[in-house]
């Protein structure tokens, strides 16, 4: 299959470490890069083995380059204006989260994309992580019965890049907020408590969904968590599933025994985990965290005219939920 030609706005640490390598692995050619500095754009092209065109003005790139899509990975406050300019130029756009700092801002951009008839995808990569796509399949296929409840934890040292509660919710915890929407649907009730001290964040949140699922979120952003950690436990009618650190998924099916199960090795769990190989290099991480999957999905959306799963309109609902959670924390 012919590779997709993508243009990029931004070449910072996250873009260079995660997005560019994942796009290439997913089957993209880097056609052009625009940063604020032409030398930096040239260096980024060279780093990723591209003979594409460097720019120091993204508007010139939008004007001169005919490509399958634009990938925007810049500062969060710059995303709305950059994406709107891409949409006005008639380009398909992938943008890293958050897209807009409020539901209202997100809705304005979603409206513009729909009016222009272009694909707009927001980078919620956890939807495309193998562990969570498998969990979604288990929820959908009903082999363990109906999902009833869950517990999710996300802990990280967010203090270098999140200076208040809103930034923590919309720059860091938003990935888990979006994930539970993707897994369980829309939410009808929220309660929660917080124990924050400036950029040090602790939150405990309870949620009830339209389909009856109930769950809790534990979010913390502070120096205690220099080792980023996340997991989710989902209870079904006939078993439970535990996803730990995006690389292990354990399925336990309800079982019956003729004799007391503690007398022998009767309990069974099925554990799914990736193999470990020095040949994987950094790509193992990019696949498991969902970066390659999301770029492959964006490329497919561009090439085949499909609406992305994590599209601009869907992003409005995630931003709305973030604002609601913040408003309910006591």
Burial state string for 224-243 with b = 16 or more CB within 10 A and e = fewer than 16: eeeeeebbbbbbbeebbbbb
List the CATH number of the domain containing 10.
Answer: 3.40.50.720
User: Does the reported pTM lie above 0.85?
Assistant: yes
Are residue 153 and residue 272 in the same domain, yes or no? Answer: yes
Nearest one of 251, 308, 306, 256 to 94, comparing CA atoms: 308
Are residue 134 and residue 104 in the same domain, yes or no? Answer: no
From first to last of its 330 residues, what are the pLDDT tens digits of the chain?
578 999 999 999 999 999 999 999 999 999 999 999 999 999 999 999 999 999 999 999 999 999 999 999 999 999 999 999 999 999 999 999 999 999 999 999 999 999 999 999 999 999 999 999 999 999 999 999 999 999 999 999 999 999 999 999 999 999 999 999 999 999 999 999 999 999 999 999 999 999 999 999 999 999 999 999 999 999 999 999 999 999 999 999 998 888 888 888 888 999 999 988 888 888 999 999 999 999 999 999 999 999 999 999 999 999 999 999 999 999
Are residue 114 and residue 178 in the same domain, yes or no? Answer: no
Q: How many domains does the chain have?
A: 2
Residues of the domain holding 77: 4-123+299-304
d(CA 101, CA 167) in angstroms, rounded, equals 9
In a domain, 61, yes or no: yes
Are residue 148 and residue 65 in the same domain, yes or no? Answer: no
In a domain, 326, yes or no: no
Are residue 221 and residue 151 in the same domain, yes or no? Answer: yes
d(CA 37, CA 52) in angstroms, rounded, equals 16
pLDDT of residue 221: 98
**CA distance from start to end of the chain:** 53
List the CATH number of the domain containing 143.
Answer: 3.30.360.10
Are residue 189 and residue 204 in the same domain, yes or no? Answer: yes
pLDDT of residue 1: 53
pLDDT of residue 4: 94
pLDDT of residue 213: 98
pLDDT of residue 46: 97
Are residue 137 and residue 112 in the same domain, yes or no? Answer: no
Taking each helix axis as running N to C, give the angle between helix 174-184 and helix 312-328, from 0 to 180 degrees, rounded to the nearest 10: 110
Nearest one of 108, 20, 81 to 312, comparing CA atoms: 108
d(CA 205, CA 269) in angstroms, rounded, equals 29
Are residue 113 and residue 134 in the same domain, yes or no? Answer: no
């Amino acid at each position: 299959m012919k590779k997709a030609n993508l243009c990029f706005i931004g070449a910072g640490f996250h873009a260079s470490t995660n997005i560019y390598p994942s796009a290439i692995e997913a089957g993209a050619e880097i056609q052009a890069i625009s940063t604020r500095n032409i030398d930096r754009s040239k260096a980024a092209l060279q780093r990723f083995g591209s003979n594409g065109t460097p720019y120091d003005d993204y508007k010139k790139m939008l004007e001169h380059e005919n490509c399958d899509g634009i990938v925007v990975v810049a500062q969060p406050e710059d995303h709305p204006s950059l994406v709107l300019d891409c949409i006005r130029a008639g380009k398909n756009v992938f943008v890293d989260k958050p897209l807009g700092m409020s539901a209202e801002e997100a809705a304005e951009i979603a409206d513009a994309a729909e009016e222009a008839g272009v694909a707009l995808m927001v980078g919620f990569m956890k939807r495309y992580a193998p562990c969570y796509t498998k969990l979604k399949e288990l929820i959908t296929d009903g082999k363990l019965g109906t999902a009833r409840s869950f517990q999710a934890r996300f802990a990280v040292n967010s203090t270098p890049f999140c200076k208040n509660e809103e930034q923590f919710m919309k720059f860091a915890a938003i990935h888990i907020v979006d994930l539970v929407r993707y897994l369980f649907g829309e939410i009808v009730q929220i309660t929660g408590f917080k124990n924050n001290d400036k950029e040090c964040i602790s939150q405990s949140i309870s949620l009830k969904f339209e389909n009856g699922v109930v769950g809790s979120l534990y979010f913390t952003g502070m120096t205690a968590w220099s080792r980023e950690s996340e997991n989710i436990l989902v209870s079904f009618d006939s078993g439970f599933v535990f996803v730990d650190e995006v690389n292990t998924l354990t399925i336990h099916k309800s079982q019956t025994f003729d004799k007391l199960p503690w007398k022998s090795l009767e309990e069974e769990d099925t554990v799914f985990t990736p193999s470990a190989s020095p040949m994987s290099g950094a790509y193992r991480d990019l696949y498991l965290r969902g970066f390659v999957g999301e770029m492959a999905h964006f490329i497919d959306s561009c090439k085949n005219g499909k609406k992305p799963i994590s599209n601009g309109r869907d992003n409005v609902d995630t931003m709305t939920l973030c604002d609601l959670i913040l408003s309910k924390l006591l």
